[in-house]
Amino acid sequence: MKRTVSTDEAIKRWNLHAESFTATYTKYGDRSRIINLNPTIFSLMDEVDGKQVLDAGCGEGYLSRVLAEKGAEVAAVDYSEKMLEIADKRTPSDLGIDYHHGNCENLSFLDGEQFDWIISNMVIQDLEDYDAAFREMYRLLKPGGSFVFSILHPCFITPNSGWVRNERGEKEYWKVDRYFYEGVYDQRFSFAADKPIVWYHRSLTSYFKVIKQAGFVIEDMVEPKPSKEMLKQYPELKEDLNCADFIVFKLRK
Ligand SMILES: C[S@@+](CC[C@H](N)C(=O)[O-])C[C@H]1O[C@@H](n2cnc3c(N)ncnc32)[C@H](O)[C@@H]1O
C-alpha cells in the first residue's frame, strides 16, 4: 500500500523542527544556501528593485529579507506557524515584508495580486499536490513573469540514496536507488530522527509534465556546484563532486 502523510501532519513536523532547522541560518541562510542555492537563484533573476516578488514557502524568511533589501516588494507565504513566528522575529518591520500563513497548493487569498517574480526555495518537494502549486504560481504571475524554484536533485537524492562506506567507515561512493518511486519519504535530519520531516520524490519526467501542463516554458535550469571563490572559502569542499544535490529551474509564463 502506498505510504501517505497528511499535509497537517507534515506541517506539524515543520512546526516541531523549525527552530533546529533554522538554528544555523545566517543572514544568507545555511551553508547549502550560501554555497549553492543563493548564487544560482540570483544568477537566474534580474533586477528586482521595485518588482513584486512572492517567496512561496519562505520558512524563516532569509530570502524574503535579501530580496526586500534589494528593493523588491515582497509577499511571503508559509504553512508552518512556527516558521512564520521565527520569520517575524528575524525581520525588521521597515523591510515591509507581507508574511501570510497559507498553503502553496491553494493561494486563493492572494487573488487580485500579480507578481513579476515568484521564488520557491526548497519547498516544491514538500507538497503533496505539486500540480496545484504549479497552477497557482502560473495564475499569480504577470504575463512574462518568472517562477524560479529549487528542489533536491531527484536523480541523486532518492528515498534510498546515501553513502556506501567501506569496513573502516570511510565513504566509498554515493548510491542511488528507487529513482522511479513517486511519493513520500523521510528526511532523516539528526535533529528529527523520531518524527522525520517528510518530502516527496518525483522523477524529472513527472516534474517536466506538471510544469508543461501548468502552461510554463522552461527558460533555464542549473545544477548548482560551488564556485572557485566558494571552494577557496570552504576548503573542505571537494572540487570533484560526486553528484548534484540540487536542481534549480527558471520557468516563464
Ligand atoms: C526546506 S524549508 C525551506 C524554507 C525557505 N524557503 C528556505 O530556503 O529557508 C521548506 C518550507 O516549506 C514550508 N512548507 C511545507 N509545506 C508547505 C505548504 N503546503 N505550503 C506552504 N509552505 C509549506 C515549510 O513550513 C518550510 O518552511
Domain assignments of the chain as residue spans, ordered by start: 7-252
**Half-sphere exposure of 49 toward its Cβ, with a 13 Å CA cutoff?**
2
Report the DSSP pairing between strands 73-78 and 52-56: parallel
Say yes or no to pLDDT of 3 above 80.
no
- Pocket test residue of 19, 30, 126 for ligand 1, highest count of atoms within 8 A of CB: 126
List all residues whose CB is within 6 A of at least one atom of ligand 1. Answer: 7, 14, 29, 57-59, 62-63, 77-80, 83, 103-105, 121-123, 126-127
| Nearest Cα residue to 249 out of 205, 226, 217 | 217
The share of the chain scoring above pLDDT 70, in percent, equals 98
For position 240, what pLDDT does the model report? 64
61 CA distance to ligand 1 centroid (A)?
10
39-96 tens-digit pLDDT: 999 999 999 999 999 999 999 999 999 999 999 999 999 999 999 999 999 999 999 9
Record the cell numbers describing residue 35, joined without a space.
Answer: 554555497
**Alpha-carbon distance values, 11 to 6, 7, 17, 79, 102 (Å):** 9, 6, 10, 7, 11
pTM (2 d.p.): 0.96
Spatial contact of 121 and 32, defined as CB atoms under 8 Å apart = no
Q: Which homologous superfamily is 7-252 in?
A: Vaccinia Virus protein VP39 (3.40.50.150)
Q: Whose CA is closest to 90, among 64, 68, 61, 66?
A: 61
**Where do we find the cell 512561496?**
56
